[in-house]
Amino acid sequence: MARMLLGAELHDNSAVPGLRDAAKPEDNMTLSVLLIWIVIGLIAGWLASAVVGGGYGLVGDIIVGVVGSFLGGIIFSQLHIAVPFAGIAGTIFVAFIGAVALLLLLRLIARGRES
């Protein structure tokens, strides 16, 4: 399940320790998997904030990146798009795309409330 949530269901993520094992339904989330989610969320959220503009700080970027990884995984799987990179780079890429989409959506919602 962790592989799907990180958008990694479209490529092999066996190079990331703990991530492959966490994909088994009978396993619980380990501390290493949680830390990987946080690091990927931070990187993806920070990159998305740098591209779109208007960062939310360290914690906000982590949240945007983690939620963006869910959104990116959904976008890539529903559109049947193959991830162009394998391993952790592909996971960060999918999370980045999802984080950009999330920031743009948040910006549209905020603009609609101002009107």
Per residue in 53-107, pLDDT (tens digit) is: 877 888 888 888 899 999 999 999 999 999 888 899 999 999 999 999 999 998 8
The number of domains in the chain is 1
The answer to whether the CB of 51 falls within 8 A of the CB of 97 is no
Residue 25 in tokens: 């339904």
User: Which domain, by its residues, includes 64?
Assistant: 2-114
**Rounded distance, CA 34 to CA 19, Å?**
9
Reported as a pLDDT band with limits 50, 70 and 90, residue 23 is: low
Q: What is the pLDDT of residues 37-58, one digit of tens each?
A: 889 889 999 999 999 987 788 8
